[in-house]
């Protein structure tokens, strides 16, 4: 399930633009295809997208970012060299990550760019634990997620309840 890269794409002034890729190594022509396909024309916040580019398969999650004039749209992308990954795990992980960042009001392009290498490392190890601040820690374990199989909405509600009663 280890991705070959993670990417962050956003809507810029001139269209879709690649913000960051980690680690580097995916050919530029492939990245250009991924950037163009990562957000289909009718996509909106909360949508997932899957497609191929050259010999790669990728999963993307489309979400909104705060902006000065208006909210912007962006996409978090995992690139794989084959179909041997669990699509639902990737989608749950992306949804969890963006939901937690939004919940703590740190869902900005700078923060996502900063943690992208840590997200990649965590995906590779199937366990993500990123301490963002003294209050915020992203903690996601793919092995326990497979055992729990909870609805993401239910998991979010339970985490909110736990946070409120601490």
Q: Using one digit for the tens of pLDDT, what is the confidence trace for 86-129?
A: 899 999 999 999 999 999 888 889 999 999 999 999 888 888 88
Is the Cβ–Cβ distance between 49 and 37 less than 8 Å?
A: yes
State the pLDDT at residue 1.
Answer: 66
Helix, strand, coil percentages (3-state) for the chain, rounded to 5, are 40, 30, 30
State the pLDDT at residue 126.
Answer: 86
Burial label for 82, CB within 10 Å (0-12, 13-18, 19+), is exposed
Is the Cβ–Cβ distance between 11 and 74 less than 8 Å?
A: yes
pLDDT per position as a tens digit, 136-165: 888 888 776 555 455 556 665 665 565 555
Q: What is the CATH number of the domain that holds 57?
A: 3.30.450
Radius of gyration of the chain (CA): 16
pLDDT per position as a tens digit, 44-77: 899 999 999 988 999 999 999 887 677 789 999 9
pLDDT category, 41, cuts 50, 70, 90?
confident
Q: Which residue has the higher pLDDT, 9 or 67?
A: 9
State the pLDDT at residue 160.
Answer: 56
109 CB-side CA count, 13 A? 18
Choose among 30, 24, 72, 27: nearest CA to 51: 30
pLDDT category, 27, cuts 50, 70, 90?
very high
User: What letter would DSSP give residue 143?
Assistant: H
Which residue range is the domain that position 149 belongs to? 5-164
Please say if the pLDDT value at position 166 is more than 50.
no
123: tokens are 């995906």
**Cα–Cα distance for residue pair 98/96, rounded to 1 Å:** 6
State the pLDDT at residue 158.
Answer: 64
**Cα–Cα distance for residue pair 135/157, rounded to 1 Å:** 18
Report the domain count for the chain: 1
């Amino acid at each position: 399930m280890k991705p070959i890269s993670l990417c962050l794409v956003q809507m810029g002034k001139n269209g879709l633009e690649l913000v960051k890729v980690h680690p580097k190594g995916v050919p530029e022509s492939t990245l250009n295809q991924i950037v163009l396909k990562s957000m289909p024309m009718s996509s909106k916040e909360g949508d997932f997208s899957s497609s191929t580019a050259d010999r790669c398969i990728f999963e993307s999650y489309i979400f909104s970012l705060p902006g000065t004039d208006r909210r912007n749209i962006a996409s978090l992308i995992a690139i794989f060299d084959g179909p041997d990954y669990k699509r639902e795990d990737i989608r749950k992980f992306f949804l969890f990550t963006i939901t937690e960042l939004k919940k703590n009001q740190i869902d900005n392009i700078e923060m996502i760019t900063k943690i992208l290498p840590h997200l990649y490392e965590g995906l590779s190890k199937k366990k993500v634990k990123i301490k963002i601040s003294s209050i915020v820690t992203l903690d996601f374990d793919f092995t326990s997620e497979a055992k729990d199989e909870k609805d993401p909405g239910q998991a979010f509600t339970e985490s909110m309840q736990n946070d409120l009663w601490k």
